[in-house]
Each structure stands twice: as C-alpha cells, then as structure tokens.
Structure 1
Amino acid sequence: MASHLQLLLFLFLLTINRLSSAQTTAFHGDFLLTIAKDPQTLQYTTQLLIGTPPLPTKLVVHFSGQSLWLNCAQPSSSRQLVRHGSLPCLMAKSGGQTPIAPPTICDIHQENPITGSTNFGDLAEDIVTIVDGNGPVVTVDRFLFSCSPEYLLKGLATSAKGVLGFGRSKIAFQSQAVNNFDISRKFTVCLSSSEGFIISGTASGISKSLSYTPLTSTHGPDGYYVNVKSIKINGRRLALHDGGQGQGQGQPIRGVEISTVVPYTTMKTPIYKIFTKAYVNAASSMNMTMVTPVAPFGVCFSSQESVPEIELVLQSELVKWKVQRRNSMVQVSDAVMCLGFVDGGLDTSGSVVLGGYQLEDHILEFNLGTGMMGFSPSLLIQGNSCSNMKKGFVRSARDRV
C-alpha cells in the first residue's frame, strides 16, 4: 500500500514539474517561431531542435499541413514509435486516411505540398525544443510527428528536413501547442522577405489593429479559407466567373485559400483572364507601359512608382484587403516589374489561392476558437515591417526573462 502511494506521489510530482517547466519557458504565455524566406524556392521555413541530442531541423511552414513530418535519418535516443491502436494513434488518424492493412506501428498520411507526393509514415514522439535567438526556450517532451522517406523531401527548400503543418488536425503544430501549454487557440503570422514570425497564442496588443472576416471550412477541414465577395481594381468591381457556374458580379469567390507554399496568388484561368484584362486597362489609364512578360508572370510593365490598387472585398464593403504596390508588383529587374499574380490553369482545386508574396508584411491572426481571421493593412505604409516587429518581440521577451 505504501509503495502504491509513493508511486502516485511520484507521478503527481512529475506531472507538476513538467507543467511548471512548460509554463516558465513560454513566451509571455505564448511563444514565437522565427520564419525565414528561402530565396531560391520562395518557401517559408523555420527551425526546431528535435531529439536527443537536440539537432537543428529546418522545416517548411505549411498552413494547411496536418502534422509535422520529417526525415528521421538522424538517430535520437529519446524517439519512440507510436503503436497502432494507441490513444495518440487514434488522435493522429482522426479524420485522416488509413493504410489498407493496419500495421503494428501507427502509420499516418503525409504529403509534400510542393510536389504533391504522398506517403504513409511511422508516427513517432520525441523531445521538440523551440529556441528563438535571445528569446525564451520552449520544450515539449512528447511531440508527435511522422517519419518520412527521403524522397518525400524533393522540392523542399535546401537542407529542409520536412514540413511543419499548422492545419486544423489534432496533431498539427498549433493543436499540440495548445494541448501542452496554457495558451489560447489562435496563432499570429507575419511573413517577410527577410525574417518574419509566428506567435502561438495571443500576441499582446496586435488584435486591436486588425479587421476580421470569417474562416470557412466549406472546401475542407485542412487549411484556412475565406470568402471574397468581389475584387476591385482602382475602385471598379470585376464581374468574375470561373468558366463553370457563373460567378456573376454579385456572387462571392468561395473558399479562397490562404497559403504559405504558393509563392504568388494563383487564379483559375477564366478568373485570371478577367483580372489581368481589367488590370491592364487600369494601368493603361495611368500611362503604364507594358513590356514582354517574364515567367512565371503573364503581365509586366516598365517600372514606375504608382500602380493600380487591388481590393479584395470580404464579407462587406467595410472589410477590404488592400493589395498595395509592394504586394502586387514583383521587381524582376531595375527596369521591369511584373504583376505578382499567376495563371493556375483549369485544373486547380480552388478558384483562387492567396500566395505568400501577397501576405508579406501583413499581420494575420487565425483564431480557431471563434473561427475568424484577423488581418492588418500593409505594415510598410505605416513605416513598419514584420522583421522589425519580430526584433521587438524577441527583445521584449529577453527583458522579461
């Protein structure tokens, strides 16, 4: 009886110790990941320390990804495979695909978002540590992820070992962060051409400056989608359709995906043609000179400062996402700039995917509790940037430690 009580007391103290450790290392109740942009692939990456010994592991950030998956070629003495039928396995497979023959080790579906390659990988758990330069350290002792074959890394940024998913599954990064720490069910993103960040939990002082629009799950539970009521160029609304069911002037574009793995906003061909035709007309009225297109773009101009303004009207005329010059034009040379929207063809899964370039230097808040997305105007027009904000957050965290 005494030994039984001693065991219970030991387990209780161990649990308290882990919870206390987790909360004292959190970033003011939340924590921050540094996000860098790979100049060759234009993918956004972050780094975690994984395993024993802790190895720096570069990962591609994927909003719609349902888990962390990585190539497990490097050994780790603390890594453990998860058995099929266990509680973590059932949680990981919730709503996911299952192999035809259930194995002894839990296998979960994983996908390379760049190439579209898929595979089933062994579910594992290991120590994962988040270190942000001079900021605080956050450690999860039993973080769930899947092990991938090396071929699945094809197309990822140089030296990337896998993908860090922020989707809505129970083992996506944000879900595991919420389960392990006392943080709210939201995360804040600020992408940059240099150094941005993701804050898990509530980013103090940011929400007051945001406009909000509902997230929709109509196009599936994996990623983050919003409805766009209309698109305007220099204040003129476009009458859009996708070549199938007419999307007349009063109909929204449903299920516009917010993506970190698509470099530039991609539009289904019929929408792209209407959009670029209207943009060229607006540019002509501003005496802009068209030049030979530079791939992958279809519309390019001689460089100049003033360009047409693009507005995405969300649930009402009061809620608009304005795409300023920095997020609409890509400077391909000193003399040439191109409209940073590309033709996605006819076989794309959605009508429009809002790509990383259009997201840069905007604050995005994904609130999984309320089902809303908050977004800011371009920070650049306020004389700020994601990179500057990130430095401020880390400095503030260092002062509190």
Structure 2
Amino acid sequence: MASSFQFLLLGSSFMYLTFVSLAQTFHSPNALVFPITKDVKTLQYVTTILHGTPLVPIKLVVDLGGPFLWTDCASRYASSSSRPVPNRSIKCLTAKAHVVGSKNCLSGAQKCEIFPENSITRLGARGELVEDTIAIQSGDDSKAAGLTATVVQQFLFSCAPPFLLNGIASGAKGMLGLGRTRISLPSQISSALGTHRKFTICLSSSEGIMVSDQGPDHGSFFGPEISRSLTYTPLVTNQGDNLLPEYFVGIKSISIEGKRLSLNASLLSLDGEGVGGTKLSTIVPYTMMESTIYATFIEAYIKAASSMNMTMVASVAPFSLCFSSKGIESGKSGQKVPVIDLMLQSEMVKWRILGGNSMVRVNNEVMCLGFLDGGLNPRTSIALGGYQLEDTLLQFDLGSSMLGFSQSLSMMQCSCNSVFKFDSWPVEPL
C-alpha cells in the first residue's frame, strides 16, 4: 500500500513539473476548459481539477451558485503548498465580505473561518479558509494545438468536515462554486490572470464543458454560428445587505403554446431579502416551481397537451404529470410536445424550452414533464434545473452582469457533448 502511494506521488510530482513547464510556455491561453460529466445515479454534474503540491486530481460537484470551492481536506494527502489564511488578513476579510454567513466568525480565532455548505443536503459547517495551487486545462481557438495547462497559485478554498460529503456523487471530494463572489472559481481565475470575469457552461446528459474566458475571441471556442446565436438578458441581484451568490434572471411571464399564464407577479420578482425570483441551478436536477405557480403551469400544460391528443398516464415519481409516448413524434429537438416560453425583460426576449428539455423519458412507453412542485414557501419561486439547462450554451458575464443563452443546440444539429473533446486529458480522479 505504501509503495503504491509513493508511486502515485512520484507520478504526480512528474506531472506537476510538466504542467509548470507547460504553463510557463503557454503565455496567453484563449480559454481554460473544464470537462463536466453527469453522474447517472445522483444527476449531479462533476468535474476534475488538479490541486496541491504535488498536483493530484480532485473530483468536485459543480455548483453554479456556490460561493467558493470546498473540499474534505482530512481525506486527502498533505499538500506542501497548502497554507492557512490568517484571520483578519486582507484575503480573509475579502472572503468574509462576499460570503453569506461568514461575517460573524469568532474574533479571537487565529485562522480564517468561513462556512461551506452542501447545497444538496442544505447542511453547513464551520470551515477553514486555505490557499493552495491548482492547475486547469488550457486550449486555443483552433483546437488543433490540443490542450496544455495553466497553474494558479494561492487559490483560496475552504476545508470542510467529512460529513458534508454526504449526498454528493461517489468519489467527489467537495463542491466547486461558480457563484457571484470574489472567491468563486471564475472570480479568482480572472483576478489571477487579469482577464474578464466571464465563463461559459454547456451541460449535457453525458459529457459537457465549462470554459473560463481568456480573451476577446472566447466565443469562437464554440464556433461563430453558436456564438452569434446568443440572446442576452440581465442577471438580477437582490439589493439587501447580503448579496446572493446565485444567478437569477428576470422572468416577466410564462406561456405554453403561445398562451400566457396568469401568475402572481410578486412571486416572479426577487426581493431585497433574496426571496422569490428565478435562479439557474446545477444542483436541482429538474425545474422546481412554487406550488401556486406549479398548479397554474400544470393546468395550462394539460390543456395544451390535450389539444395535441397526448394521453395522460399514471405518474412516475418524482414526476406528477406523465404521458404515453405512443404516437408522439420526435424531431431534432426532442418530442413534439407543447412549447414552453419564459418571457424575460420583454416579450421579444424569450427562453424557449422544447421537448428535449421538458420531457423526460422514463421508459419506452412513458414520458414525464420534467417540472416539479417546490412547495408553498420556497426561498426561490422558480429554480431552473439542470435538465432544462442541458444542450444550451450559457455565458455568464459577471463584469456586465449579463447572461447570454443560446437556443437548444439540437436545433443546430449540435450538442454540448460534441462541442469539445478531451482526448488529451487522460488524468482520472483519485
């Protein structure tokens, strides 16, 4: 066992030296890329980064609205470059200023304490703010040059107790936060490399990708046709004392097959305390709606489905509305079922959800609507889940506070798992 571990460290040390050399010769990468895979058991999205000295791969669950990276440090080897962040230091104060719940840490503590949370189980704990080295894949526009890596020193993250790992994908050692804070992954990368606070994510039912912006030609990484197809909408923030790290969009109304639903406008808006509104989530597998919104939505969908001669069948958990697949045509964007439109800042700006992102095939004979009842008093009125985000290019510009989104890539005979391949990244997580 010991000899195997020594061999692993020797291999990792060689890999570390290789990556440092590559990073030194790769001065201006156009993009830092993260392969994202979907865990079939938990429906969570996971990625792998290289972390510590020597660099070793660490598997993390991607949390779009998470404030920072946290990991179970106790189960990992001791990194020689890991350093605790002192309390009351500039880095500690920066972290606490932008992380909800971390401002009132023990004033007498010597180490900087923040509060990592498992956003799946909603359990949190006191954790220690630490800095260490990470390495990330780099690629250029042409894709012909393949991949190399960029090393980021003094990357801030939180150690967390092992019980926070409960409920996350097998083998994952923590969560990778991409949210709107100064210590999220996109913010730290842009600060370290002097680039725009912008990243693009493209989820898939199998293999997807996240790209951190590294220059003005970032969009061409996905091809000019896809980049030009993006529609833009403002990212909404609450105006309270604690700004939320999640990404919210302003939905004005919802229509099904062109018929607008009668909804409570106050539920669709985000108030100063961070209640209501519509957020995008990689943690919620299927879109969740506040109960009164859901009831109106389901009633309208049943009417639209009936007009299309769709046959309702017994529900299949966790879904409440299911249909027979018999006689339902399929096109390049999935089953031909009622179209759902989310109207954003105006009637002209809409997020269209077609069959491929609305219907979940549970077996050969039954398909179910992938929208769930979120209860009467959820903090967020609508949480757009991972299934509804798949095969849609999402570009988050934190600097301008804008979201760019594509139509379903299936309409362009494309998908997120065909956008980019990672054949030259053979490292497997521990």
Q: For 2:211, give the aligned amino acid.
A: I
1:159 matches 2:181:
no
Query: Is the partner of 1:203 in helix, strand or coil?
Result: helix
Match of 2:148 in 1: 136
Q: Kindly tell me: are residues 77 and 100 of structure 1, through their superposed partners in 2, closer, same or farther at Cα, counting changes over 3 Å?
A: closer
Give distance in 2, aligned partners of 1:396 and 1:281. 50
From 316, 324, 337, give the equivalent of 2:354: 324
Give distance in 1, aligned partners of 2:418 and 2:117. 33
Alpha-carbon deviation of 1:269? 0.5
Alpha-carbon deviation of 1:108? 1.0
The gaps in structure 1 that reach 5 residues or longer are 1-18
Give distance in 2, aligned partners of 1:325 and 1:382. 15
Q: Kindly tell me: are residues 197 and 229 of structure 1, through their superposed partners in 2, closer, same or farther at Cα, counting changes over 3 Å?
A: same
Q: TM-score with structure 1 length normalisation?
A: 0.87
Match of 2:230 in 1: 210
Q: For 2:219, give the aligned amino acid.
A: A
The gaps in structure 2 that reach 5 residues or longer are 1-19, 140-145, 270-274, 330-335, 426-430
Give distance in 1, aligned partners of 2:132 and 2:315. 48
Query: Is the partner of 2:37 in helix, strand or coil?
Result: strand
Match of 2:61 in 1: 60
Q: Is the 8 A contact 2:29 2:138 kept in 1?
A: no
1:266 matches 2:288:
yes
1:109 matches 2:119:
no
Q: Kindly tell me: are residues 28 and 209 of structure 1, through their superposed partners in 2, closer, same or farther at Cα, counting changes over 3 Å?
A: farther
Q: Is the 8 A contact 2:38 2:205 kept in 1?
A: yes
From 363, 368, 374, give the equivalent of 1:333: 363
From 260, 269, 290, give the equivalent of 1:237: 260
Match of 2:337 in 1: 307
Q: Is the 8 A contact 1:23 1:181 kept in 2?
A: no
1:276 matches 2:276:
no
Q: Is the 8 A contact 1:34 1:132 kept in 2?
A: no
Alpha-carbon deviation of 1:136? 1.7
What pairs up with 1:238-253 in 2 under 5 angstroms? 238-241=261-264
What pairs up with 1:23-42 in 2 under 5 angstroms? 24-25=25-26, 28-42=29-43
Q: Kindly tell me: are residues 101 and 65 of structure 1, through their superposed partners in 2, closer, same or farther at Cα, counting changes over 3 Å?
A: same
Q: Is the 8 A contact 1:207 1:374 kept in 2?
A: no
Match of 1:171 in 2: 183
Alpha-carbon deviation of 1:254? 6.2
Alpha-carbon deviation of 1:78? 1.5
Name the count of aligned residue pairs. Answer: 372
Match of 1:365 in 2: 395
Q: Is the 8 A contact 1:131 1:138 kept in 2?
A: yes
1:185 matches 2:197:
yes
Match of 2:315 in 1: 293
Alpha-carbon deviation of 1:23? 7.2
Alpha-carbon deviation of 1:49? 1.0
Query: Is the partner of 1:228 in helix, strand or coil?
Result: coil
Give distance in 2, aligned partners of 1:372 and 1:132. 24
From 73, 92, 95, give the equivalent of 1:92: 95
Q: Kindly tell me: are residues 35 and 367 of structure 1, through their superposed partners in 2, closer, same or farther at Cα, counting changes over 3 Å?
A: same
Q: Kindly tell me: are residues 347 and 313 of structure 1, through their superposed partners in 2, closer, same or farther at Cα, counting changes over 3 Å?
A: same
Decide which moves more: 90-99 or 273-282.
90-99
Give distance in 1, aligned partners of 2:267 and 2:69. 39
Q: Kindly tell me: are residues 102 and 63 of structure 1, through their superposed partners in 2, closer, same or farther at Cα, counting changes over 3 Å?
A: farther
Match of 1:118 in 2: 124
Alpha-carbon deviation of 1:24? 4.5
Q: For 1:389, give the aligned amino acid.
A: V
Q: TM-score with structure 2 length normalisation?
A: 0.82
Match of 2:72 in 1: 71
Q: Deviations over 1:261-290 (max 9, x none)?
A: 000000000110100110011101111000
Q: Is the 8 A contact 1:72 1:148 kept in 2?
A: yes
Q: Deviations over 1:124-149 (max 9, x none)?
A: 11111123795221211211111001
Q: Is the 8 A contact 2:268 2:276 kept in 1?
A: no
Q: Is the 8 A contact 1:22 1:140 kept in 2?
A: no
Query: Is the partner of 1:277 in helix, strand or coil?
Result: helix
Give distance in 1, aligned partners of 2:184 and 2:316. 37
Query: Is the partner of 2:399 in helix, strand or coil?
Result: coil
Q: Is the 8 A contact 1:30 1:203 kept in 2?
A: no
Q: For 1:217, give the aligned amino acid.
A: T
Give distance in 2, aligned partners of 1:307 and 1:142. 50
CA-based RMSD: 2.5
Give distance in 1, aligned partners of 2:347 and 2:410. 23
Q: Kindly tell me: are residues 88 and 321 of structure 1, through their superposed partners in 2, closer, same or farther at Cα, counting changes over 3 Å?
A: same
Query: Is the partner of 2:164 in helix, strand or coil?
Result: helix
Structure 1: 4+ residue segments shifted above 4 A = 19-24, 245-248, 394-397
Alpha-carbon deviation of 1:388? 0.8
